């Protein structure tokens, strides 16, 4: 991997890891709907500025069905679920649960194509499930319905990302920028009615609003552009390795900014989830783990 691509990969992981920090900071005061409407709204406006600057026209009406599907599966639904969960569980746990997306992707792929999972896949799924169980266990002293609901919501968000990734394989072939731009406007329209059902709870502080703006512009609009640039440079498989790095930055940001405790359960759960993901995606295989080298 070229050094500039590697640097982009780490930068993308850092800003996506920070997204859980910003959601954790703002979810309680703004509520999930208002927070995510601001997130996708700022992202859509930012991408619109890019489109005007680079003279990129968006055929939204021509592909409106596609944009609404990808906007729902890849943005509106998972963003709302993570924002809901951010009211209860910390940024570190959110980032780790997000890294189960490739595991869900493998499960969806198996069901979609009716294929038989490999031994590496099965082992990876089991290890990933153990990791999630360990993360649940770290809240054993305060475990309640709200905590379990938040964890389930986070896993459903990751599942939504996985379904979206499989949908895009059969979707209209548009440019990466058009997909990002169109889906953000569609997501904005989908989330907008929900702000009347889940209105803002209290006026946010300047710090919270600064975080929300960063969430929309940097962690969503810029991140999408960066991610699709990586796909063009190194391919989707290599770009997927960003998933392994996001929990690391999520844990670091949560500890540095919100003073979230990094306990042994957090680290062990993260290792299990990341290790399981690597096995499921084929990044590492059982044979390579037990391969014997002979002279």
Backbone angles phi, psi at 142, to 5 degrees: -125, 20
Q: Considering only CA atoms, which of 283, 274, 285, 184 is closest in space to residue 236?
A: 283
Q: Which of 255, 270, 249, 189 is nearest to 19 (CA)?
A: 249
Distances, alpha carbon 118 to alpha carbons 110, 268, 280, in Å? 10, 25, 9
- Cα 234 to chain centroid, rounded: 20
How would you write 110-143 as a 3-class SS string?
A: HHHHCCCCCHHHHHHHHHHHHHHHHHHHCCCCCC
Measure the CA–CA gap between 195 and 178, rounded to whole angstroms. Answer: 26
3-class secondary-structure state, position 262: coil
Query: CB 3: neighbour CB atoms within 10 A?
Result: 7
HEC profile for 252-263? HHHHHHHCCCCC
CA distance readout (Å), 236 to 37, 146, 162, 168: 28, 36, 14, 12
pLDDT tens per residue, the chain (295 residues)?
678 887 888 898 899 999 999 999 999 999 999 999 999 999 999 999 999 998 988 889 899 999 999 999 999 999 999 999 999 998 888 988 888 887 888 788 888 777 777 788 788 888 888 887 777 665 544 567 888 899 999 999 999 988 888 887 788 888 878 988 999 999 999 999 999 999 898 888 999 999 999 999 999 998 888 887 787 777 665 666 677 788 888 888 888 888 887 778 778 888 888 888 778 767 676 666 555 444 4
Report the alpha-carbon distance of residue 159 to residue 245 in Å, rounded: 19
Q: Which two tokens stand for residue 82?
A: 């993570």
Instruction: Write down the residue that tokens 């930012």 correspond to.
Output: 46
Contact (Cβ atoms closer than 8 angstroms) between residue 103 and residue 128: yes
Closest CA to 133 of 87, 88, 96: 96
Determine the pLDDT at residue 7: 84
For 171-208, letters b (16+ CB in 10 Å) and e give beebeebbbbbbbbbbbbbbbeebbeebeeeeebeeeb
**For 57-74, what is each residue's pLDDT tens digit?**
888 989 999 999 999 999
């Amino acid at each position: 991997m070229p050094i500039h691509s590697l640097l982009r990969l780490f930068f993308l992981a850092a800003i996506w890891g920070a997204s859980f920090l910003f959601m954790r900071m703002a979810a309680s005061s703004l509520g999930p709907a208002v927070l995510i409407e601001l997130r996708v709204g700022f992202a859509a406006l930012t991408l619109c500025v890019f489109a005007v600057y680079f003279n990129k026209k968006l055929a939204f009406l021509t592909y409106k069905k596609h944009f609404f599907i990808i906007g729902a599966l890849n943005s509106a639904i998972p963003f709302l679920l993570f924002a809901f969960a951010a009211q209860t569980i910390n940024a570190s746990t959110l980032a780790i649960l997000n890294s189960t997306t490739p595991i869900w992707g493998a499960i969806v792929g198996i069901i979609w194509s009716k294929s038989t999972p490999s031994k590496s896949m099965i082992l990876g799924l089991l290890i990933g499930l153990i990791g999630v169980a360990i993360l649940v266990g770290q809240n054993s002293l305060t475990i309640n319905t709200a905590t379990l609901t938040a964890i389930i919501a986070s896993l459903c968000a990751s599942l939504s990302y996985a379904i979206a990734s499989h949908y895009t394989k059969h979707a209209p072939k548009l440019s990466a920028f058009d997909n990002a731009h169109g889906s953000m406007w569609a997501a904005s329209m989908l989330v907008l009615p929900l702000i009347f059902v889940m209105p803002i709870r209290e006026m946010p502080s300047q710090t919270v609003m600064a975080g929300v703006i960063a969430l929309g512009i940097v962690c969503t609009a810029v991140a999408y552009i960066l991610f699709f640039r990586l796909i063009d440079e190194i391919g989707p498989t290599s770009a997927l390795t960003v998933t392994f790095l996001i929990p690391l930055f999520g844990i670091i940001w949560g500890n540095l900014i919100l003073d979230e405790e990094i306990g042994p359960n957090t680290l062990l759960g993260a290792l299990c989830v990341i290790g399981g993901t690597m096995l499921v995606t084929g990044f590492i295989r059982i044979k390579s783990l037990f391969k014997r080298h002979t002279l």
